[in-house]
Structure 1
Amino acid sequence: MSAPTLHTAGATAEAGTADAVEHARDAVARESWAEAYALLHAQDLHPTRALTATDLSALADAAWWSGHVDESVAARLRAHSAYVAADDHRGAGLEAWWLHYEYAGLGRPAAAAGWLHRARHHLEGLPDCPEQCFLAWTDAEEALAHGDPAGALAASDRMTRLAVGSGSPDLLALSRQAASSTLLAQGRRGEALSLLDDAICAATAGELSGMVTGWLYCLALTQCMEAADFPRAVEWTNAAMEWCAPPWAGRPPEGDGEPVPVPATVPSGENPFRGVCRAHRVDVLDLLGSWALAEAEARQACREVPADCLESAAAAYYAAGDVQRRQGRLDAATHSYAHAHELGRIPQPGLALLRLAQGRTDAAVAGLRLALACWGDSRHDLLGRSRLLGATTEVALAVGDVPGAAEAADELDVLAGDVPLLRAMADTARGAVALAGTGAGTSPGTPAHERALPLLRRALAGWLELRVPYEAAQVRMLLAAADRAVGDEEAARLELAAARTVFERLGAEPDARRAAALLSGGKRRRLPGGLTAREAEVLRLVAEGGTNKDIAQALVISEHTVSRHLNNIFAKLGVGSRAAATAYAYAHDLV
């Protein structure tokens, strides 16, 4: 690439300018974006120096990476004009596509649509060229968004053909990702994930540019989680965070409070993809049970996410809310879910489960019903809909709607197929329904606990294989109930003890208290006063000083249900106050 023609007063000035531009070009080639931005920006500010169209395009790239989005757009507009003046339609078309991309990220859809139209005007009449790959990529994404898998497949096939012809590793990797998305939407899961692996391997091997590497990690991690491929999500999330670390130096955390507002720009020298990749990592850490780290990473992600990726910040807030909810920090969870909602995410099913823990069962049922009604094609986000169905099963059982729980569990079972994460979720839901006295798959005359046991044992095996501890511990609680129903007290106590250990390690205090209460209740088979096992649990928590709200949270039931149990307890024991009931509990060794 030749040096630009510069109108300066002497050969020395021309030579110095040429050297500076060459240094800038070298920095661009090395993807040293902060350095390139400083050099090109300085040259561009000089009143008698003009950057070429290529250099203006490089300045736009460097400004974007350095967090100066407005300057990036301004430089790209000038680059487009320079290419048009030179009658270079390929260059102009590519800059127009980039302007479409940047304006879309800035939340200006009309401007984005206009520049996409210009990109088509420049490129569509030309013989096949690499720049047309970006149009084909956009066509594939738009077709998927409009529910046209055939159109998406045709566009991704065209993109692949153009990419192969270009010989560009970047374009070939992007074409494989596009094809993967299309195949996944068609239910061709194996083919889709194989293509995705191929594209990500090119990224992890360092074969691709920084921009394409960042795109692939963001897109692939989203695909893995939506497809519920948890092992891939773990592997590729770790790879993405390794790529995000060097050579960009992160900023230190800003305290241990709630996540701070998302900054308008990313400071110079940082990787703009890091916040997005970190937000994906939060979801993975949450499932793995690394809750303290997940919450800390959520706070950091909200600091690092660029302004055009606020959906990632919303996901981080939501994941933090899930951690806080399960730890019994209900006020903190309420704030986190509210932040996620402000940023555009429907905070379900976490918010419904929070309402259930607060005893607000009507709100829990209504929230899940609305979320399911608003959900789109389940094939687009298998994990999202599956989580809603799992929560619907849990809430329905809590309010005594066993048929509603069975319906949700059956739909989840159909969605799950042979996907390990979803299969563990479906087996858990169906096992819980069977334990409640109904469910498909066994003869009507089989006792509920006998129908539940094989499903729950398979669910436990699935969660353990995936190394997802919280859900595994929850299944152990259900297994303990089934074991006690068949008279195997020793097995029940083993399950409860294992569950309590996990809950205590995770900091899931409400669940740990519930497991401890059930362990204590297993010391005797006959309860005094004609109390049921659940009434004895409630009485123990009353004797320990628990309010109705505390007991509802510990046992995951509504406060109305707690009141009903207390009325029954008072009637059976012939007492008229909590103090008298507490005295009875201590006198009969129930505490």
Structure 2
Amino acid sequence: MSAETGIDKGRSAFREHRWGDASRSYAEADRHGGLPAADLERLGTSGILTGDIVAGLETLTRAHEEYLVIGDVESAARCAGWMGMHLMFMGERVRAGGWFARGRRLADELAEPGAVQGLLLLPDGLGKLYGGDPAGALEVFSRVAGYGQLFHDKDLSALGLLGTGQATLMLGHPDKGLAMFDEAMVAVTAGEVSPVPSGIIYCAVIGNCHLAFDLARALAWTTALDRWCSERPDMVPFSGQCQAHRAELYRLHGAWAEALEAAAVAQGYSTRGDPQALYGGYYQQGEIQRLTGNLAGAEASYRQAAESGYEPQPGLALLCLARGEVQHAQSMIRRAIGVADVATRRHLLPALVEIELAATAPEAARRGADELGAFARECPMPMVRALAGQADGGVLLAEDDPVGASQALRQAWKLWLELGVPYEAARCRVLIGCACRNLGDEPSALMDFEAAHREFLELGAAPAAAWTGSLLREAQGNSGGADGPLTPREAEVLRLVASGMGNRAIAAELYLSEKTVARHLSNIFLKLGLPSRSAATSYAYEHGIVS
């Protein structure tokens, strides 16, 4: 294949988003006579998009140098800017800073300003955005968007709009910020934006929708991102982040096995060219492990997530709470929320209320619930209203107002059901049962506890099932039930355990496999909130299951 043929094939493949084919055709052409600067830039970009970041950066460096040779200073500066951006996403801030400095020096040499000046403002805007200065970031990104408009650069206009939306969200104006995200996504979904900025915008918009508790938008844009990635099967960057977003949605909607699978895929992509997937892949895995009772695994996952540079909160604080380290959890969440921007603070408030209640600090919990309530009045999206109602109901219970608690919790429960978030709906149901109990309505309390318990068992939420199991034992004790929530077969297994028989002997006695006996025993521990066979034996004697 001649160099000219390879270049033509490479350009065609690049236009059609077949970056693996583009890389191969361009590489072949490069071996047979070299590539022009613009095609070297496309080859480097193709390498990065297929996960070969080192080779891609080396080729972009060649493109930068070739632009300088031919006197195209603006394109050389643009190449330097994108080199800096790629290195920044990889966490190589020193090298990134060097390329940004070179890009700015070259841009200063231009006789007339151009779009590249706007591109080279992006690192300053990102620094302010994640450095606690959203007002400064808003000013910088507004200038970026202005350069895009002035020079008709669709990439720059969309990235500027993304940044202004993020800064606006962090300043506490979610409606305005989300509207800006929608506008940026119009350009992306219309195909007006090039591949790398498109991926950046997709992933940032979805992450910020979750931060703003806009579950409907997060679902819609994740579906769009999933489709976009599927149409580009050899793309590595952004594909991992897509899987991390999928994992979060699966987790919320109760599909925990699927969430773990998506998180594992995201982790794989994070080592193959999508380092931004590291946090989401491990954080979402940690959340499932925490909720299912694998606390050691959750801690390891949160530590991996922290390697990204982002703090794994509120998961880490809630993990401490699950371990019974209440004061540690309280100190951790208070510190995290004290240094957070407005949007992140709101994201941490539900965990703060839960932890403060566990630490018997009702006044602090009330302040957190009231702040969530004010946010819900300002931004009445279903998920915000559900979180606010759940927090308010929990605090009202602690304040000995079961009537008010029941009203707030039932509204929150209905919202969680409408959103399709079963774990939080079940948690609300337990608290509703507690309110009924405080009002002396034991039959209704039993009904709520049983419904929540079934949901927790179906999800595999062992700690929550154990908690609800203990409440069920109290309710059934009051109503006179002996076997409690156990099925007849489980009660029979428990009787044999209490008689001192091991799993093999029980299996022979009941004509079951040892694996089936072990599963029954696991269900017994979950349902009754018991830690061991000896505890199960004590329970059996105390509740008259054996005499």
Please, which of 69, 74, 78 is the counterpart of residue 53 of structure 2?
69
SS at structure 2 position matched to 1:487: coil
Provide Cα deviations, 1:294-339, integer angstroms capped at 9, x if missing partner. 0111111101125665453232212112212222233433332333
After TM superposition, the score normalised by the length of structure 1 is 0.76
Name the residue aligned to 2:422. Answer: 469
Please state how far the C-alpha of 1:107 moved relative to its aligned partner: 3.0
Partners of 1:361 and 1:590 in 2: how far apart?
A: 37
Name the residue aligned to 2:69. Answer: 85
Partners of 1:299 and 1:213 in 2: how far apart?
A: 24
Range with greater deviation from structure 2 (25-34 or 232-241): 25-34
Please, which of 183, 195, 205 is the counterpart of residue 210 of structure 1?
195
Please, which of 284, 289, 302 is the counterpart of residue 254 of structure 2?
289
Partners of 2:529 and 2:392 in 1: how far apart?
A: 19
Indicate conservation of the 8 Å contact 1:177/1:216, yes or no: yes
Please state how far the C-alpha of 1:431 moved relative to its aligned partner: 1.4
Partners of 1:578 and 1:102 in 2: how far apart?
A: 56
Change (3 A) 1:348 1:189: closer
Change (3 A) 1:55 1:512: same
Name the residue aligned to 1:385. Answer: 348
Name the residue aligned to 1:534. Answer: none
Change (3 A) 1:236 1:526: closer
Name the residue aligned to 1:441. Answer: none
Name the residue aligned to 1:338. Answer: 303
Partners of 1:337 and 1:150 in 2: how far apart?
A: 30
Superposition pairs of residues 576-591 of structure 1, within 5 angstroms: 582=539, 585-587=542-544
Indicate conservation of the 8 Å contact 2:4/2:29, yes or no: no
Please, which of 306, 311, 322 is the counterpart of residue 357 of structure 1?
322
Change (3 A) 1:480 1:582: closer
Indicate conservation of the 8 Å contact 1:463/1:471, yes or no: yes
Please state how far the C-alpha of 1:554 moved relative to its aligned partner: 7.8
* Structure 1: 5+ residue stretches without partners: 1-12, 249-268, 439-446, 529-541, 560-576
Name the residue aligned to 2:513. Answer: none
After TM superposition, the score normalised by the length of structure 2 is 0.82
Name the residue aligned to 1:4. Answer: none
Indicate conservation of the 8 Å contact 2:314/2:348, yes or no: no
Indicate conservation of the 8 Å contact 2:171/2:341, yes or no: no
Name the residue aligned to 2:505. Answer: none
SS at structure 2 position matched to 1:289: coil
Provide Cα deviations, 1:343-393, integer angstroms capped at 9, x if missing partner. 4443333233333333343443344344345x32233x245422xxx3333
The alignment status of 1:405 with 2:365, answered yes or no, reads yes
Indicate conservation of the 8 Å contact 1:275/1:306, yes or no: no
Partners of 1:185 and 1:401 in 2: how far apart?
A: 28
Indicate conservation of the 8 Å contact 2:90/2:275, yes or no: no
Please state how far the C-alpha of 1:211 moved relative to its aligned partner: 1.9
Change (3 A) 1:510 1:113: closer
Indicate conservation of the 8 Å contact 1:224/1:233, yes or no: yes
SS at structure 1 position matched to 2:429: helix
Range with greater deviation from structure 2 (409-418 or 71-80): 409-418
SS at structure 1 position matched to 2:342: coil
Name the residue aligned to 1:320. Answer: 285
Aligned amino acid, residue 48 of structure 2: W
SS at structure 1 position matched to 2:311: coil
Aligned amino acid, residue 80 of structure 2: A
Partners of 1:221 and 1:51 in 2: how far apart?
A: 37
Please state how far the C-alpha of 1:435 moved relative to its aligned partner: 0.8
Indicate conservation of the 8 Å contact 2:466/2:529, yes or no: no
SS at structure 1 position matched to 2:193: coil
Aligned amino acid, residue 385 of structure 1: L
Indicate conservation of the 8 Å contact 2:184/2:201, yes or no: yes
Change (3 A) 1:146 1:30: same
Please state how far the C-alpha of 1:590 moved relative to its aligned partner: 11
Partners of 1:109 and 1:65 in 2: how far apart?
A: 20
* Structure 2: 5+ residue stretches without partners: 482-493, 499-522
Please state how far the C-alpha of 1:275 moved relative to its aligned partner: 0.4
Aligned amino acid, residue 117 of structure 2: Q
Name the residue aligned to 2:235. Answer: 270
Change (3 A) 1:101 1:556: farther
Superposition pairs of residues 165-180 of structure 1, within 5 angstroms: 165-180=150-165
Name the residue aligned to 1:221. Answer: 206
Change (3 A) 1:362 1:190: closer
Partners of 2:342 and 2:181 in 1: how far apart?
A: 20
Aligned amino acid, residue 454 of structure 1: Q
The alignment status of 1:433 with 2:395, answered yes or no, reads yes
Range with greater deviation from structure 2 (235-244 or 352-361): 352-361
Indicate conservation of the 8 Å contact 1:510/1:554, yes or no: no
Aligned amino acid, residue 30 of structure 1: E
Partners of 1:197 and 1:496 in 2: how far apart?
A: 41
How many residue pairs get aligned? The number is 505
Aligned amino acid, residue 393 of structure 1: V
Please state how far the C-alpha of 1:69 moved relative to its aligned partner: 1.5
Please state how far the C-alpha of 1:474 moved relative to its aligned partner: 0.2
Aligned amino acid, residue 400 of structure 1: T
Change (3 A) 1:453 1:317: same
Aligned amino acid, residue 348 of structure 2: R
Percent of matched pairs sharing the same residue:
33
Indicate conservation of the 8 Å contact 1:27/1:33, yes or no: yes
Please state how far the C-alpha of 1:523 moved relative to its aligned partner: 4.3
Indicate conservation of the 8 Å contact 2:170/2:341, yes or no: no
The alignment status of 1:54 with 2:7, answered yes or no, reads no
Aligned amino acid, residue 239 of structure 1: A
The alignment status of 1:241 with 2:206, answered yes or no, reads no
Partners of 1:71 and 1:451 in 2: how far apart?
A: 63
Please state how far the C-alpha of 1:94 moved relative to its aligned partner: 0.7
